[in-house]
């Protein structure tokens, strides 16, 4: 009996199984890395909303049985963007899909333990309603080479990158017509714009290309919840943290003008007790593209992660990039024309009048040196399934500055027939000065002074910066969530000068000070006999000696900032929307120890300014391919410290108030397996703006004069397009275009001071700027990028970019104050870059990679910016239609780099 029952049961089960099998179909496919075309082993393929799924095998292939009908599949892999596919299968049918190519994620690259995910505001595709472009790790490692960090962002809409001083780290970036002090730059969610003036000095961050995992450019007001200055865009740099897996990387890179860089990194991986560590060290040096622009620096990075439980993650990291580099500045086009033939050769465009030879070595009047170590501690706490708290504490101690001439001005400097400074002759002239030390109670010593000697000074800019950001997130239900948080920053800056090189003198006498305080403290002036050689490490070795030997000026400031923010968000598969706001208060106080002798006068009154922002937006996914979004916002931005204290005294500029920024943006997106398209339109109105501009307005050869434009208004309107086409598994095309119309809206008042804060000319004038084009960046640009995989591991790529409608900066001295001619338009230009890569996949998952980049392949000559607005005039010489009296920067000609790296 039991035997018959078992047979019956077997027949029933077999029959039912057969029926199920007959009602099923099979989906087969292969999953690969979109960059390398290599198989991804262990990738997950799951039917959405269920646990039905499988994983890929050793060759990246999978097979999944599904019931007959339509299904939504979710394909995911650690470190890659999740991809969704809709498939249909009939009974008994087997479908083989086209190869599925997963792209590396902008966040999860290298499987980070923690990067403060609750603090970093990363925009999500088809969800966050902002215009965004993401540069991933593979592109950072492949194309950065010996270029500066801003250069890696040049292949995105509305981005313009130019060399500002012709030295390592002196590039600047402009987005949608807004300079970098009006862009919010965040490292792991932490603001790094200078609290004095909003500027970012990229030379302080020379190692970013080594430690960055991804860069996301959120154009417009951005998605950051902080009350920060994202007028044109937010640049969010996600750096390395502690890797989950053990491994390392070593590389050597060589490039034009004797550039070399050595880099090594290693990660222990996360052990059984939840600890892990990653470290990176790098050294670079080079002679610089422009003459006499050599530089050198290092990068270090250490990260320690600890994950004691599923609820808590901690990560401590510290990084720094001590460096020094010589600099070049703008010159008139006629200065570049060394032969006087009205032409400028590619060799002549490298001309630099700041350098020469000193005791047989290359030496420069202008040297930038800085060391800005940054440390942070992240804590991510998953309180429960719906609630989390992320906090980051950070600190920075920056030390360094820049050198320049001091003494008798340019008249004392000796140039040879090549236009180079003859420092040996300058020193000989100093030693020949008939200036007895008896006048200063220093018998037998040669003492120089203004009019009879020259020295190199170092202008020091020191700071101490502490901050914290915390964000509490709670999911109310499956659709609604909110977060609230706080942002605190305090900054103390110190500014003074010291003697860097006496050039053969025994001492230098000086009484050139702003205000009467120093003369009261040191009647008859002071003799400086100590030299403090410029170095990014000088304040770590002899800080006390330097602090007691200040020259020319000594002023400090303290700036404190605190803010709160909040956001309410609604999200489902079709619609996402948010509204967010922030309130902040900022205090400012200035201390001056050379302009005032009375301690009560040395400390300014404490100023307070409040600010706020409010933003809202929404995204609608029409279907799996199409989406549209809209966002708007308003900022009331506090003034910068430098706008409140303009004359190097503690007197307050009472006319400065908050600036108002209104932004509107709309966009459309299209997504398919072979083509992605984004189109964005924007409108930004900026009112009550204060522009502080440095320049050589008194034509003494030094960029130490200041102009202030008050109550400036601007309107920026534009359209942007970005696309990517995966034509075949081997060929990918990308393109971008941006058309802008950026103009001033109204006339402004301009005040101009020299280095001693004496008015230049009448001191005040009206600039008729209404309807004049905003300068400093190309208002029209487009680019096309191609990447072709020739064979396994071998690929080539090429990028072409074109820039037009580029205008000069508004120069208060040369600008036509009647407003008839407007901004000077500079020649348009196009640039071609190319590169090739080869990856050799070795045993034990090691990869040996070879890469070569050639930038500006055609050696195109082009002007990146002009500091003056001198229009063509009958009888004046011209270069490419530009009056040769204009002070300009040239872009680099052809440059190259080649590298080899081993990842293991």
Q: Are 422 and 415 in contact (CB under 8 A)?
A: yes
Q: Find the angle CA(763)-CA(768)-CA(769) to the nearest 5 degrees.
A: 110
pLDDT at residue number 582? 94
Report the C-alpha gap between 706 and 702 in whole angstroms: 11
Report the C-alpha gap between 497 and 528 in whole angstroms: 12
Interacting residues of 335 by C-beta distance below 8 A, sequence separation 6+: 351, 353
Q: Are 336 and 351 in contact (CB under 8 A)?
A: yes
* DSSP structure string for 167-220: STT-EEEEETTB-GGGSEEEETTEE-S-TTT----GGGGTTHHHHEEEEEEEET
**Residue burial 572-586, b: 16+ Cβ < 10 Å; e: rest:** eeeebbbebbbbbbb
Collapse the DSSP code of 328 into the 3-class scheme (helix H, G, I; strand E, B; otherwise coil) and give the result.
Answer: coil
Q: Are 469 and 486 in contact (CB under 8 A)?
A: yes
Q: How confident is the model at residue 128 (pLDDT cuts 50, 70, 90)?
A: confident
H/E stretch holding 18: helix 2-22
Backbone angles phi, psi at 860, to 5 degrees: -70, 135
**Residue burial 306-344, b: 16+ Cβ < 10 Å; e: rest:** bbeeeeebbbbbebbbbbbbbbbbbbebbbbbeeeeeeb
Report the C-alpha gap between 602 and 588 in whole angstroms: 14
Percent of the chain with pLDDT over 90: 49
Report the C-alpha gap between 827 and 70 in whole angstroms: 56
Backbone angles phi, psi at 474, to 5 degrees: -140, 130
Q: Options 3.30.470.10, 2.170.130.10, 3.40.640.10, 2.40.110.10; which CATH number does 131-239 get? A: 2.170.130.10
CATH 2.60.40.10 residue ranges in the chain?
A: 23-102
Report the C-alpha gap between 318 and 302 in whole angstroms: 6
Collapse the DSSP code of 137 into the 3-class scheme (helix H, G, I; strand E, B; otherwise coil) and give the result.
Answer: helix
Collapse the DSSP code of 737 into the 3-class scheme (helix H, G, I; strand E, B; otherwise coil) and give the result.
Answer: strand
Mean pLDDT of 58-66: 82
Comparing CA positions, the residue from 808, 804, 838 lying closest to residue 822 is: 808
Report the C-alpha gap between 159 and 685 in whole angstroms: 19
CA distances from 701 to 503, 695, 755, 799 (A): 20, 10, 12, 38
Q: Is the pLDDT of residue 619 over 80?
A: yes
Q: How confident is the model at residue 17 (pLDDT cuts 50, 70, 90)?
A: very low
Interacting residues of 801 by C-beta distance below 8 A, sequence separation 6+: 154, 155, 781, 782, 783, 830, 831
Ranked by mean pLDDT, the top range of 13-17, 110-114, 805-809 is 805-809
H/E stretch holding 543: helix 543-547
CB neighbour class for 409 (10 Å; exposed up to 12, middle 13-18, buried from 19): middle
Q: Are 451 and 430 in contact (CB under 8 A)?
A: no
Helices then strands, counting H and E runs in the chain, come out as 9, 53
Report the C-alpha gap between 489 and 827 in whole angstroms: 43
pLDDT at residue number 648? 78
Q: Are 703 and 750 in contact (CB under 8 A)?
A: no
Second-level CATH architecture of 23-102: Sandwich (2.60)
Beta partners for residue 71, in sequence order: 87
pLDDT at residue number 109? 35
Percent of the chain with pLDDT over 70: 88
Interacting residues of 591 by C-beta distance below 8 A, sequence separation 6+: 555, 556, 557, 558, 602, 603, 604
Query: CA dihedral defined by 378, 383, 387, 389, rounded to 10 degrees?
Result: -20
Backbone angles phi, psi at 519, to 5 degrees: -65, -35
pLDDT, tens digit, 9 for 90 and up, residues 568-610: 999 998 999 999 999 999 999 999 988 888 889 999 999 999 9
Q: Please give the CATH number for the structural domain made up of 247-903.
A: 2.40.170.20
Beta partners for residue 494, in sequence order: 462, 556
- Full-model pTM: 0.86
Collapse the DSSP code of 131 into the 3-class scheme (helix H, G, I; strand E, B; otherwise coil) and give the result.
Answer: strand
pLDDT at residue number 561? 95
Q: How confident is the model at residue 809 (pLDDT cuts 50, 70, 90)?
A: confident
Q: What is the DSSP letter of 641?
A: H
User: 788 is written with which tokens?
Assistant: 């072709």
Ranked by mean pLDDT, the top range of 184-188, 440-444, 583-587, 845-849 is 583-587
Interacting residues of 304 by C-beta distance below 8 A, sequence separation 6+: 242, 275, 276, 277, 315, 316, 317
pLDDT, tens digit, 9 for 90 and up, residues 668-686: 999 988 899 999 999 999 9
pLDDT, tens digit, 9 for 90 and up, residues 182-212: 998 888 888 888 888 888 888 888 888 888 8
pLDDT at residue number 108? 39
CA distances from 582 to 279, 421, 607, 674 (A): 36, 53, 21, 40
Number of residues assigned to the chain: 904
Report the C-alpha gap between 413 and 406 in whole angstroms: 10
**Residue burial 171-200, b: 16+ Cβ < 10 Å; e: rest:** bbbbbbbbbbbbbbbbbbbbbbbbbbebeb
Q: What is the mean pLDDT of the chain?
A: 86
Query: CA dihedral defined by 861, 864, 869, 873, rounded to 10 degrees?
Result: 10
CATH 2.40.170.20 residue ranges in the chain?
A: 247-903
Q: Is the pLDDT of residue 379 over 80?
A: yes
pLDDT at residue number 112? 41
H/E stretch holding 425: helix 423-431
Q: Are 134 and 213 in contact (CB under 8 A)?
A: no
- 10 Å Cβ neighbour count for 229? 24
- 10 Å Cβ neighbour count for 426? 25
Q: Is the pLDDT of residue 409 over 80?
A: no
CATH 2.170.130.10 residue ranges in the chain?
A: 131-239
Mark residue 729 as left, alpha or beta (left: phi above 0; alpha: psi -120 to 50; beta: remaining).
Answer: alpha
Strands 507-510 and 447-448: parallel
């Amino acid at each position: 009996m039991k035997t018959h029952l078992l047979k019956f049961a077997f027949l029933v089960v077999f029959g039912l199984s057969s029926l199920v099998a007959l009602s099923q179909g099979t989906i087969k496919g292969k999953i690969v890395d979109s960059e390398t075309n290599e198989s991804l082993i262990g990738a997950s393929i799951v039917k959405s909303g269920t646990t039905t799924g499988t994983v890929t095998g050793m060759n990246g292939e999978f097979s999944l049985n599904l019931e007959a009908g339509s299904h939504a599949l979710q394909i995911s892999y650690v470190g890659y963007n999740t991809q969704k596919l809709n498939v249909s299968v009939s009974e008994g049918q087997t479908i083989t899909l086209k190869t599925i190519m997963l792209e590396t994620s902008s966040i999860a690259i290298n499987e980070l333990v923690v990067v403060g995910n609750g603090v970093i505001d990363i925009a999500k595709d088809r969800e966050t309603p902002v215009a965004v472009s993401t540069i991933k790790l593979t592109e950072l490692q492949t194309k950065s080479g010996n270029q500066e960090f801003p250069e890696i962002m040049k292949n995105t809409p509305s981005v313009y990158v130019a060399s500002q001083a012709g030295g390592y780290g002196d590039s600047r970036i402009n987005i949608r017509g807004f300079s970098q002090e009006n862009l919010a730059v965040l490292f792991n969610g932490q603001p790094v714009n200078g609290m004095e003036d909003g500027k970012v000095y990229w030379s302080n961050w020379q190692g970013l290309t080594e430690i960055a995992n991804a860069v996301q450019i959120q154009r417009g007001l951005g998605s950051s919840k902080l009350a920060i200055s994202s007028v044109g865009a937010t640049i969010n740099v996600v750096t390395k943290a502690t890797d989950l897996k053990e491994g390392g990387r070593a590389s050597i890179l060589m490039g034009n003008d004797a550039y070399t860089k050595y880099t090594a990194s290693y990660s222990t991986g996360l052990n059984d007790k939840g600890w892990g560590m990653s470290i990176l060290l790098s050294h670079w040096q080079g002679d610089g593209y422009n003459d006499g622009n050599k530089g050198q620096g290092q990068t270090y990075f250490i990260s320690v992660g600890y994950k004691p439980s599923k609820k808590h993650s901690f990560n401590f990291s510290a990084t720094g990039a001590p460096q020094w580099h010589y600099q070049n500045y703008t010159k008139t086009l006629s200065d570049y024309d060394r032969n006087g033939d009205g032409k400028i050769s590619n060799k002549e465009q490298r001309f630099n009048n700041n350098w020469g030879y000193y005791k047989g070595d290359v030496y420069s009047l202008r040297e930038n040196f800085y060391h800005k170590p940054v440390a942070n501690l992240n804590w991510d706490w998953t309180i429960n399934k719906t609630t989390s708290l992320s906090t980051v504490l950070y600190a920075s101690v920056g030390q360094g500055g820049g050198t320049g001439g001091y003494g008798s001005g340019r008249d004392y400097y000796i140039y040879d027939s090549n236009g180079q400074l003859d420092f040996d002759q300058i020193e000989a002239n100093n030693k020949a000065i008939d200036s007895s030390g008896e006048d200063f109670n220093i018998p037998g010593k040669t003492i120089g002074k203004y009019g009879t000697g020259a020295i190199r000074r170092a202008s020091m800019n020191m700071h101490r910066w502490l901050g914290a950001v915390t964000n509490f997130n709670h999911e109310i239900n499956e659709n609604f969530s909110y977060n609230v948080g706080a942002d605190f920053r305090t900054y103390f800056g110190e500014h003074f000068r010291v003697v860097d090189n006496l050039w053969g003198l025994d001492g230098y006498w000086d009484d050139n000070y702003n205000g009467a305080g120093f003369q009261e403290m040191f009647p008859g002036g002071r003799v400086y006999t100590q030299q403090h050689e410029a170095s990014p490490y000088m304040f770590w070795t002899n800080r006390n000696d330097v602090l007691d030997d200040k020259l020319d000026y000594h002023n400090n400031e303290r700036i404190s900032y605190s803010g709160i923010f909040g956001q309410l968000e609604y999200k489902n598969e079709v619609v996402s929307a948010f509204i967010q706001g922030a309130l902040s208060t900022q205090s400012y106080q200035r201390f001056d120890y050379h302009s005032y002798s009375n301690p009560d006068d040395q400390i300014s009154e404490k100023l307070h300014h409040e600010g706020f922002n409010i933003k809202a937006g929404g995204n609608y996914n029409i279907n799996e391919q199409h989406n549209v979004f809209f966002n708007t916002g308003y900022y009331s931005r506090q003034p910068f410290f430098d706008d409140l204290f303009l004359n190097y005294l503690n007197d307050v500029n009472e006319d400065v108030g908050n600036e108002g920024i209104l932004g509107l943006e709309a966009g459309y997106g299209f997504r398919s397996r072979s083509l992605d398209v984004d189109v964005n339109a924007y409108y930004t109105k900026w009112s009550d703006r204060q522009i502080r501009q440095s320049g050589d307005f008194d034509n003494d050869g030094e960029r130490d004069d200041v102009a202030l434009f008050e109550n400036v208004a601007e309107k920026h309107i534009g359209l942007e397009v970005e696309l990517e086409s995966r034509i075949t598994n081997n060929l990918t095309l990308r393109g971008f275009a941006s058309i802008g119309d950026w103009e001033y809206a109204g006339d402004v008042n301009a005040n101009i001071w020299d280095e001693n804060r004496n008015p230049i000319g009448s001191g005040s004038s009206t600039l008729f700027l209404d309807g004049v084009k905003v300068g400093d960046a190309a208002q029209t640009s487009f680019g096309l990028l191609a990447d072709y995989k020739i064979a396994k591991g071998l690929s080539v790529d090429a990028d072409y970019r074109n820039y037009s409608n580029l205008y000069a900066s508004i120069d208060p001295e040369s600008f036509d104050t009647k407003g008839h001619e407007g901004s000077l338009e500079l020649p348009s230009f196009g640039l071609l870059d190319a590169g090739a890569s080869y990856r050799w996949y070795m045993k034990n998952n090691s990869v040996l990679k070879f890469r070569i980049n050639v930038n500006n392949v055609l050696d195109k000559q082009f002007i990146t910016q002009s500091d003056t607005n001198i229009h063509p005039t009958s009888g004046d010489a011209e270069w490419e239609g530009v009056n040769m009296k204009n002070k300009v920067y040239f872009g680099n000609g052809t440059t190259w780099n080649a590298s080899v790296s081993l990842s293991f």
